[in-house]
A and B are shown apart, each in its own frame.
Chain A
Amino acid sequence: MERIEEKLKILADAAKYDVSCSSSGSKRKNTGGIGDASSSGICHTYTEDGRCVSLLKILLTNHCIYDCAFCVSRKSNDVKRAAFTVDEVVELTMNFYRRNYIEGLFLSSGIFKNADFTMERLLRIIKKLRMEEKYNGYIHLKTIPGASEELIKEAGLYADRMSINLEMPTEAGLKMVAPDKDHESVKKPLAFVNEQMHSYKSDSKIIKHVPVFVPAGQSTQIVIGATPETDFEIMNVAKTFYKNYQLKRVYYSGYVPVNTNNNLLPQVGSAPPLIRENRLYQTDWLLRFYGFELDEILNKEYTSLDLDIDPKLSWALRNPHLFPVDINRADYKMIIRIPGIGRQSAMKIIQARKFGRLHEYQLQKMGIAYNRAKHFMVCADSPFVLGTLSVAAIRNNILQNGNSKYKSKTPEAQLSFF
């Protein structure tokens, strides 16, 4: 194996636990060079774990001065170490990009020597891509906590997105596994970049040619299942970060055990909490796109998400008095709250009903999850139902008839009479 191939193997392997793959949200144009950023993002392929591959996601190096228990690259781990040169990263990025393998580069790094030294090296790479290669494709750059504001500010002029990972959802959780780290050192640079984004934006209203600064915004990642936080705590943190730092995304990463000899963490070989991770993303979507408030889905009494059913269905079953919804009269806001109906279908329904009352056979074809939705809506020809919905019956019916990949492994408790 050639050295470059071996480096790629080591440094892609070490970078892959950062789940952000997004290449969307930027609008960088090709100005006399190569590349642009597609505003909707493009996933160029998918790995066998089903995750999208959009960016060349690598570490500059996996040498690190820190010893975080959850991290594969921690100082005390006996793993092969490697470091790319600036030219190697540029060459890989350009050659992959020109062959349409990738949307761009996701560049992160272990901390070697100190934060500024690392940040300066990262900056040198993206500067070379932009200035010498005339590369206008997507760049996602990790902000190195503790790096000087001058370096971060300069990096923001060349990157499309910047991110810093919170890692553990709470300060207490983080301290358990990474005593040298704290949330404050994440918040400070997030806030700084956010301020800069705003000041560039307001400048651009007055001055004509203001350079773009982190046009695709910032994101962070929370590791799930390594430390004992509840879903309610996790989503509360996410909500606060969306609000305070106007993040574009919070990523939830089910912890994949990589290190032995830490009794606080799940052991190597235990399965990552994939269903829980999925439920958290669904909750995130409900909060950002479906008009839900967090306390409707999770609150002090109800602190963990139901793994068997999705959070919207779970909410609906706890609020039977709001259903069924009349599909021919309800407003958009209420229609998207019906389990099994998404935003696009809701728009279709609103538009279609101008032409006449909608019947069941029409809804069945519109691309909604009809078998779930039917319990919560009435169409023009739905039979009149007396009384309120029987929550338990609906839940059972959906669980038994659905073919969810997460279908409960427990045996069905009741015989069906039908």
Chain B
Amino acid sequence: MYYLFDGSYAGFLCCVFESFERKEWNVIPLTPQQFAGDFFRDKREIYTDSAKARRVQDGLQEKAGMEKAKDFFRAFLSEDEKAWSVSFKIITAVFKTGVGVLENFGDTDVLYFAQTLKKVSRERHRMKAFIRFQKSNDGMYFALIEPDFNVLPLISDFFRKRYADQPWLIYDVKRKYGLLYNKVAVSEVALSPEQKQSLTAPAIAIALDEEDEKFQRLWQQYFKSTNIEARKNLKLHLQHVPKRYWKYLVEKQG
């Protein structure tokens, strides 16, 4: 049975709700866009109802504890169909038999779930490391990212706490939304097409602070000078800084 939901985490939790309500256990959660049609299985459209989602979330927290419950949200952010359907099975098992199932690493589903969590966590960590702010002439620090997974929700707190005294914007170019911090609170923003255009243009149409270029140059200089030529190891370098991240790394532009 396919459950077609709106792609939100609340929608995903509503799939769990419906499956218990209807006692349908062999469920594959998908968005209508992902669903390619299947003659042999039924499908059901699931409507997102925040009250139902809340009930599932509360129940999950009670069963598994805050941290473990949040793991399902983290795995969901992988945007990986297989991870979704594996998570779905595991949530069902947690409700039926308890949180212990998460330790059954001999089981391929549990292992896949654990590996997904690890991948998402690595990407979250990378974004903490690789985000490079540029300062605009009105004092805003802004950065563009294209993470493999939808990790913005997982780094919001980190940047809010660390850069508490400066306004900043981190915009996910791939998913077309961003986080905006105004020195008080973080909010989610989606930019208008024109704004987006100006952000993604290579030269960056936002007017930069007059000193920004200088510090970018100094950073490139530092990056060169701190390298030890006699120890050159490009394989290791690439392993730590894969090429797909270079686009937004100041030090890889010089």
Contact = CB atoms under 8 A, between A and B. Distances in A.
Interface of A: 2, 4-5, 8-10, 12-13, 15-17, 29-30, 32-36, 38, 42-53, 56-57, 92, 95-96, 98-101, 134, 254, 256-257, 271-272, 274, 348-349, 351-356, 358-359, 362, 365-367, 405
A93 to B, nearest CB: 11
A49 B222 contact: no
Q: Give the size category of B's interface with A.
A: 35 or more
Given A9-B221, A354-B103, A49 B165 contact: no
A13 B235 CA distance: 22
A343 B24 CA distance: 39
Given A44-B130, A48-B232, A99-B133, A365 B111 contact: yes
Given A16-B226, A348-B114, 8 more contacts: A12-B222, A12-B225, A12-B226, A33-B164, A35-B162, A36-B161, A49-B228, A95-B218
Nearest to B110: A352
Contacts of B129: 42-45
Contact of A52 (B111, B219, B240): B240
Nearest to B215: A95
- The B interface, classified by DSSP as helix, strand, loop or mixed, is helix
Interface of B: 100, 103-108, 111, 114-115, 125, 128-135, 141, 143, 158, 161-166, 211, 214-215, 217-219, 221-237, 239-241, 249-251
Contact of A272 (B103, B107, B161, B230): B230
Contacts of A30: 161-162, 164
Contact of B227 (A42, A44, A47): A47
A172 B182 CA distance: 59
Contact of B219 (A38, A50, A101, A351): A101
A51 to B, nearest CB: 7
A100 B251 CA distance: 12
Contact of A101 (B166, B225, B250): B250
Contacts of A50: 231, 233-237, 239-240
A58 B11 CA distance: 51
Nearest to A49: B231
Contacts of B104: 351-352, 354-355
A230 B251 CA distance: 39
B218 A8 contact: yes
Contact of B233 (A5, A33, A48, A359): A48
Nearest to A33: B165
Nearest to B245: A45
16 contacts: A32-B164, A34-B164, A45-B130, A45-B241, A46-B240, A47-B226, A50-B235, A50-B236, A50-B237, A95-B215, A98-B141, A101-B132, A256-B228, A274-B231, A351-B103, A365-B111
B141 A49 contact: no
Nearest to A55: B226
B218 A272 contact: no
